[in-house]
Amino acid sequence: MTVNLAPSPGSSLKPEAQNVSALKQVLQTIDADSCPAFYNFHMHTVNSDGRSQSEKVMEQAIAIGLKGLAITDHHSTQGYAQAQIWLDNWKLNHPDGNITAPTLWTGAEINAELLNNDVHILAYAFDPQHPSLKPYLRGKSTEGTYCYSAARVIEAIQEAGGLAVLAHPCRYRSTAAQLIPEAARLGIDGVEIYYAYNNPNPWKPSPKQTILVKELAETYGLLGTCGTDSHGLSLLIRI
């Protein structure tokens, strides 16, 4: 399905990377075949615990033919910022439009406490300069009981205009059936439905976990995302 990512008439002008309405439209179309060929909303660069440079990530994204992506370094938007500069320059050097550039949204992965679990919350399409996110984008794990609470992390992301998504909900001590309802109660926007828990090559979302998380997301009215959680040199696998 083709999604029109252009701003709607009369909408406030924000950078494409912060176009949360366009991102919501995309997430409503995500399915098991979306990642890694078309969309990828979970990846890391050398700016946190990944091995790839931001420029190489973007080169791969264009080579693969991705329609949209987000770099989600831990507690940092440096990878995004470097990728955005590269993408802007690439567009200037390819004015003919023979190759369609992917949409790059702002992204980050933030630690938080949820039901006594250290969980990861993905942030998307937010304003990286917003003061509410200052405690979370310092390149180190969240500190302090108040800031570390999932409720506050979700609130801070949304105050910055973004979407908050619970990452890989089947990787924690508590079950997805426990965590997702609580995250929904706290106002989270979405959950990472399509994730490869056993790191297969080629990448493929884990069937059992996918069914469970998708059902829970539908029950609680949450958006769903997909991502390879790449930490290596290829966006097509996790390691």
Compute the average pLDDT of residues 208-234: 98
pLDDT of residue 13: 59
112's enclosing H/E stretch is strand 107-114
Lowest mean pLDDT among 3-17, 106-120, 154-168: 3-17
More confident residue, 44 or 13: 44
Q: Cα–Cα distance between 22 and 4 in angstroms, integer?
A: 8
Single-letter amino acid code for the residue at 174:
S
Give all domains of the chain, ordered by start, each with its CATH number.
Answer: 16-226 (3.20.20.140)
pLDDT of residue 95: 87
Lowest mean pLDDT among 12-16, 62-66, 103-107, 224-228: 12-16
Q: How confident is the model at residue 151 (pLDDT cuts 50, 70, 90)?
A: very high
Ordered DSSP codes for 5-63:
-SPPTT-----GGG-HHHHHHHHTT--TTSTTTTEE--B--TTTT-SS-HHHHHHHHHH
